[in-house]
């Protein structure tokens, strides 16, 4: 039985119940005051506690996916290189950040950056820089903290008139920008890929999928509630263009994320391909559902049902024209719950939409897996984005 299988949880849970029953039954027989009886009582207590604790740990791991397979639990992690495979569609070939004039990007000081390993430190023209800012949404009226990675080329004279491509990296829930920087190691990975000439100079923006903490807004415009989709598709690009030399054309923009951030990335690209024509999802899902953290995302009545269908990506592929976007999705044959759904999604992709995939032999819903995937994912996305774009026609950004 697999480590995350419900059968294993039920089997061990039944064994725990059986141990409790047996201890109750044999306890009177172990009531004597001799060494053997004392050892018997201790053994019964330890065995029962062990089975109960094991059941709880297995249930938690099955739900949250800390370890996807027995090999991962035992530390036998596959470190082989990860490859991206292009999917063939069914019907075709496969200086300081200053507050902007509108106050849309505002510096926030250190904000935990000094405690994040792998952050570029040194001369900006050689190492790049990471800014801690908050993004103010003019339409959504939301404020979302972000880290912004600026590559060394951003500060070099020969690139002073260039507009740079943008990767928006969205964390899972309840993570945030620090999870992307510290645990996913995005700035460190970007710097290494640049040094190895595997990625073009790119501005990387790291932030949370929710704009109304602690509610999980899942990048959705909630009827009568937070307008998360508006923030990501309208406010965020507007704010970044007001403060940085970023590409004006959509071909310079891509979005990626892990877990619910990956789901958001696919949703944003397929619902707004004119904003994000490239997206990557590490262990993402392909539809959205209400839960205790999200509340009601879609509204009520027939309109609410339609809103929910509109956020089901399989429904969109089957009922709407395929968007002109390129997507990359990842999963694992063993240890990831989204493997079957990923296969169905890839089979449903059709022109002009393009898809690529990373499928590991085994993995889990955890940073140990996503850190293996992030470098090839960022390399792939860099190949989708246009650079440079001339900034001669626009005011000079610092």
252 shares its domain with 346: yes
Lowest mean pLDDT among 21-30, 192-201, 262-271: 21-30
**CB burial class (10 A; 0-12, 13-18, 19+) of residue 383?**
middle
Q: Which one has a higher pLDDT value, 277 or 3?
A: 277
98 falls within a domain:
yes
Please give the DSSP secondary-structure letter assigned to residue 365: S
Q: What is the model's pLDDT at position 129? A: 95
Is the same domain home to 39 and 147? no
Distances, alpha carbon 174 to alpha carbons 73, 163, 212, in Å = 24, 32, 12
Based on the fold, state whether residues 211 and 347 are members of the same structural domain.
yes
Give yes or no: residues 187 and 262 share one domain.
yes
**Span of 104-118, 260-274, 310-324 with lowest mean pLDDT:** 104-118
Structural element, H or E, at residue 72: helix 70-73
Range with lowest mean pLDDT among 30-39, 78-87, 195-204, 328-337: 78-87
Among 21-35, 200-214, 356-370, the minimum mean pLDDT is found in: 21-35
In-domain check, residue 75: no
Choose between 5 and 219: higher pLDDT: 219
Q: Does 167 lie in the same domain as 51?
A: no
Same domain (yes/no): 171, 59:
no
pLDDT of res. 213: 86
User: What are 174-224's pLDDT values in tens digits?
Assistant: 889 999 999 999 999 999 999 999 999 999 999 999 998 889 999 999 999
Q: 395 vs 332, which has greater pLDDT?
A: 332
Integer Cα distance of 308 and 289 in angstroms:
8
CATH number of the domain to which 271 belongs: 3.40.50.1820
Residue 56 lies in a domain: yes
Our count of domains for the chain comes to 2
Query: Where is 204: in which H helix or E strand?
Result: strand 203-207
For residue 80, is it within any domain?
no
Give the rounded distance of the alpha carbon of 379 from its chain centre. Answer: 16
Listed range (88-92, 315-319, 338-342) with the worst mean pLDDT: 88-92
Same domain, 294 and 380: yes
Q: Is residue 396 assigned to a domain?
A: no
Please tell me whether residues 191 and 51 are part of one structural domain.
no
Q: Does 101 score more than 50 pLDDT?
A: no
Cis before 352? omega within 30: yes
pLDDT in tens, 369-390: 999 999 999 999 999 999 877 7
Would strands 162-163 and 143-150 be described as parallel, antiparallel, or unpaired? Answer: unpaired
User: Is residue 69 assigned to a domain?
Assistant: no
Final residue of a domain: which of 31, 64, 97? Answer: 64
- % of the chain beyond a pLDDT of 90: 64
What is the span of the domain harbouring residue 336? Answer: 85-390
- Both tokens assigned to 227: 């307008």
pLDDT surpassing 80 at residue 392: no
Q: Mean pLDDT, to the nearest integer, of 239-256? A: 95
> Whole-prediction pTM value?
0.77
Residues 366 and 321 in one domain: yes
Residue 1 covered by a domain: no
Same domain for 231 and 103?
yes
- Has residue 363 been placed in a domain? yes
Domain identity same for 10 and 97: no
Task: Give the Cα separation of 225 and 221 in Å (integer).
Answer: 7
Is the same domain home to 205 and 318?
yes
Higher-pLDDT residue of 120 and 314 is 314
> Shortest CA distance to 32 belongs to which of 41, 22, 21, 45?
41
């Amino acid at each position: 039985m697999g480590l995350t299988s419900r059968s294993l949880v039920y089997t061990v849970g039944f064994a725990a119940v059986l141990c409790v029953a047996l201890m109750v039954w044999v306890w009177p027989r172990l009531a004597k005051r001799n060494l053997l009886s004392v050892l018997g009582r201790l053994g019964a207590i330890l065995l029962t506690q062990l089975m109960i604790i094991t059941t709880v740990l297995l249930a938690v791991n099955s739900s949250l996916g800390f370890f996807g397979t027995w090999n991962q639990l035992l530390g036998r992690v596959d470190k082989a290189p990860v490859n991206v495979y292009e999917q063939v569609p069914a019907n075709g070939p496969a200086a300081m950040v200053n507050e902007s004039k509108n106050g849309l990007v505002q510096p926030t000081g250190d904000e935990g950056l000094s405690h994040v390993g792998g952050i570029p430190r040194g001369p900006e023209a050689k190492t790049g820089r990471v800014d801690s800012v908050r993004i103010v949404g003019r339409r959504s009226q939301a404020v979302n903290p972000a880290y912004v990675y600026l590559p060394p080329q951003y500060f070099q004279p020969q690139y002073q008139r260039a507009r740079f491509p943008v990767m928006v990296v969205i964390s899972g829930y309840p993570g945030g920008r620090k999870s992307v920087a510290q645990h996913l190691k995005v700035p460190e990975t970007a710097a290494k890929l640049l040094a190895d000439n595997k990625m073009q100079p790119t501005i990387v923006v790291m932030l949370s999928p929710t704009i109304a903490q602690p509610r999980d807004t899942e990048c959705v415009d909630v009827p009568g509630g937070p307008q998360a989709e508006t923030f990501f598709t309208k406010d965020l690009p507007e704010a970044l263009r007001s403060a940085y030399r970023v590409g004006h054309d959509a071909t310079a923009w891509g979005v990626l994320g892990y877990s619910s951030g990956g789901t958001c990335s696919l949703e944003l690209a397929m619902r707004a391909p004119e904003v994000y024509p490239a997206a990557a999802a590490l262990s993402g899902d392909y539809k959205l559902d209400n839960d205790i953290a999200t509340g009601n995302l879609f509204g009520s009545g027939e309109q609410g049902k339609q809103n929910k269908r509109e956020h089901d990506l399989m429904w969109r592929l089957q009922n709407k024209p395929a968007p002109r976007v390129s997507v990359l999705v990842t999963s694992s044959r063993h240890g990831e719950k989204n493997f079957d759904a990923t296969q169905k999604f890839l089979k449903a992709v059709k022109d002009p939409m393009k898809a690529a995939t990373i499928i590991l032999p085994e993995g889990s819903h955890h940073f140990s897996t996503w850190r293996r995937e992030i470098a090839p994912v960022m390399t792939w996305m860099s190949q989708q984005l246009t650079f440079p774009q001339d900034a001669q026609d626009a005011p000079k950004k610092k």
